Chains A and B, each alone.
Chain A
Amino acid sequence: MQTPGTTVLAIGTKKGLWLASSPDRETWTLSEPKFLMEEIPSVGIDTRGGRTRLFAGRMSWHFGPCIAHSDDLGETWTEPQEGSLRFGADEGVSLERIWQIQPDAEHRPGVVWAGCQPISVWKSTDHGETFELNRGLWDHPHRSEWGAGFGGAAAHTVLPSPADETLHVAMSTGGVYRSDDGGTSWQPRNKGISAYFMPDPNPEFGQCVHKVARDAVDPDRLFAQNHHGVYTSTDRGDSWQSIAEGLPADFGFVMLAHPHRSGTAWVIPLKADGERIPPDGHLQVHRTDDGGATWEACDAGLPQAEYNAVLRDAACVDTAETPGVYFGTRGGTVYASADEGRTFREVARNLPDVLSVRAAVVPA
Chain B
Amino acid sequence: MAATTLVTVLIPTLLRPYVDGRSEVSMNLPGPGDVSSLLDSLGEGRPLLEQRIREETGALRRYVNIYVDGEDVRRLDGLGTAVPAGATVMIIQSVAGG
Chain A interface (Cβ within 8 Å of chain B)?
A: 37, 60-64, 66, 79, 81-83, 86-89, 91-95
Contact = CB atoms under 8 A, between A and B. Distances in A.
A78 to B, nearest CB: 11
Nearest to B49: A63
Interface stretch (B52-60, B66-74, B76-84): B52-60
Contacts of A66: 48, 51
Given A81-B47, A83-B51, A62 B94 contact: yes
Interface residues of B, number: 19
Given A62-B93, A63-B61, A86 B14 contact: no
A62 B57 contact: no
Interface string B18-55: 00000000000000000000000000000110011101
A175 B15 CA distance: 38
A84 to B, nearest CB: 10
B14 A83 contact: no
Given A62-B63, A63-B53, A86-B56, 7 more contacts: A62-B52, A63-B61, A81-B48, A83-B47, A83-B48, A91-B56, A94-B56
A93 B57 contact: yes
Interface of B: 14-15, 47-48, 51-53, 55-59, 61, 63-64, 93-94, 96-97
A94 B47 contact: no
9 contacts: A60-B14, A60-B52, A62-B61, A62-B94, A62-B96, A63-B64, A81-B47, A81-B48, A94-B55
A64 B96 CA distance: 13
Contact of B64 (A37, A62, A92): A62
Nearest to A87: B56
Nearest to B63: A62
Nearest to B53: A63
A63 B57 contact: no
Contacts of A92: 57
A61 B96 contact: yes
B61 to A, nearest CB: 6
Contact of B51 (A37, A86, A93): A86
Nearest to A83: B51
B48 A95 contact: no
A63 B93 contact: yes
Contacts of A87: 56
Given A64-B51, A81-B47, A83-B47, A88 B97 contact: no
A63 B15 contact: yes
A89 B51 CA distance: 12
Contacts of B51: 64, 66, 83, 86
Contacts of A63: 14-15, 52-53, 61, 64, 93
B84 to A, nearest CB: 27
B48 A94 contact: no
Given A61-B63, A64-B61, A95 B52 contact: no
